[in-house]
Amino acid sequence: MQRLSLDYPAGAPAAARALAGVVGSGDLEVLLEPAENGRSTVAITTSVDGVNDIWTAVIDRIFADADQPAVALEINDFGATPAVVRLRIAQAMEQAASGAGRT
């Protein structure tokens, strides 16, 4: 089990909280909560050792745009591939933006 914390400049707080993904091999759970103005944080717990560099590269790219809503992401990873990581985070962001997130 490894933990990794990242943070990025961001815009205004996200509109709502959201939850995407499932507990299961090759997948992950993303809990998204609105964060304070101007800063997004990402906390990852992963069952796979030795993949911090891959995670950092994937998340850096997702948060490259500093005008995105400020979010606090809590991610529980069960060996998801980078493509699955991107889709699940996009799904959570979309839910938060539409305000229709599961709570």
Partner 1 sequence: MERRLKLSASGNYSEGGAGRYVVRPHDLLWCAEQSVGADAPAWANPLIARGGPFVVRRAPRASDCLPVGVRGLARHQRFAMTIAADQVMKTVTPEQCAARIERPTAKRRQAIPALDALPALAATLDSRRLCWGVTGAVGYELATDEASCHAASDIDVLIRLPQRLTRRDAAGVVASLAMLPVRCDIQMETPLGGVALADWAAGNDNVLVKSDQGPFLCADPWVRSVAHERASRSAAG
Instruction: Choose between 35 and 80: whose C-beta lies nearer to partner 1.
Output: 80
Please report how close the Cβ of residue 11 comes to partner 1 at its closest, in angstroms. Answer: 24
Q: What is the DSSP string of 22-75?
A: -SSTT-EEEEEEE--TTEEEEEEEESSTT-HHHHHHHHHHHT--TTSPBEEEEE
Instruction: Choose between 11 and 79: whose C-beta lies nearer to partner 1.
Output: 79
- Are the C-beta atoms of 8 and 73 separated by less than 8 Å? no
Residues that bind partner 1 (CB under 8 A): 20-27, 47-51, 79, 81, 83-84, 87-88, 90-91, 100, 102
Instruction: Choose between 12 and 90: whose C-beta lies nearer to partner 1.
Output: 90
